[in-house]
Amino acid sequence: MIRRIALLLFAVIAVVLLLRWLVSADGIWDAMKPALIPVVRVYLDIFNSPATAILLCVVMLLVAIGLFAAYHLRQIAPAERDLSILATQLRAIDRRSVRDSTLAEIDRAMQRYPRFDRGWRLYRATLVAGADGRWFSSLPPSHYFNMRMLENSGMRLRFYLGLPNDFVGLGLVFTFLGLVAGLYFASRSMMASDLSDARAALTQLLHAATFKFLTSIVGISISIVMSAAQRVQLERLHGALAEVQMLLEEALPLARGREAGSHPAPVASVPSGA
């Protein structure tokens, strides 16, 4: 953490020094100025308008709804559905004494879902055979059947869970961009010799600032609502995962010497089906 902060600080200082040198260098600033003026003018005109803040708020809302819906429909809901179906199939299997035929049934159930295949293969490699032919596990199923398994299968949970903070940041950035534009025009009007013009400019700045803070309010509101919705989604997903973990632990309890009849040894290959 300290190293990343130091590198970021060094990079910022280097960029500032470079820009300072470019501005103070003879001829460079004069050559860049004609190209930058139209860009700055467009930025000031856009962000000085109250309509821009309202439009940005609408766009932020639409993007947030679109990302939430897309991620729920394409990632969360399918994973939850697969876990629910898998749990139903595991309940239908006789879990009192798992032997080769029962293990083959679990194999076939797992192979129907690519998102669980890798976790199952890793967990399956920990199975040990007891003296009576029953199968036990060396590790609890939660070691492999967890949220990390879903992330490794393509579910970008870190990106998704970071969206609320991203919208807060966007709202603040848009607010400050608007305030910079408003302050620029207000400062020019305040230098007018007529006091009424200066007061009108100040009043216009305050009215414009009211609209510009809308982006921050909308960004924070999106963050609160999306965070609450994500908690509901993750609780349901954790519940579905916990159910599969318990069913697997019932079928394949942790290996103990007294349960297996002797000290079990890992088996390289497990029969996968009839």
Write the DSSP string, the chain.
Answer: -HHHHHHHHHHHHHHHHHHHHHHHSTTHHHHHHHHHHHHHHHHHHHHTSHHHHHHHHHHHHHHHHHHHHHHIIIIIHHHHHHHHHHHHHHHTS--SS--HHHHHHHHHHHHT-HHHHHHHHHHHTTEEE-TTS-EEESS-GGGTSSHHHHHHTT--HHHHHTHHHHHHHHHHHHHHHHHHHHHHHHHHHHTSS-HHHHHHHHHHHHHHHHHHHHHHHHHHHHHHHHHHHHHHHHHHHHHHHHHHHHHHHHHSPBP-HHHHSS---B-S------
Give the residue with greater pLDDT, 123 vs 28: 123
Flag the least confident range among 19-33, 59-73, 119-133, 161-175. 19-33
pLDDT score for 253: 84
Whole-structure pTM value:
0.71
152-171 pLDDT, tens digit each = 888 888 888 999 999 999 99
132-149 pLDDT, tens digit each = 778 888 888 888 888 888
pLDDT score for 31: 65
Average pLDDT on 51-73 reads 91
202-237 pLDDT, tens digit each = 666 666 677 778 889 999 999 999 999 999 999 999
183-198 pLDDT, tens digit each = 776 666 666 566 676 6
pLDDT score for 95: 66
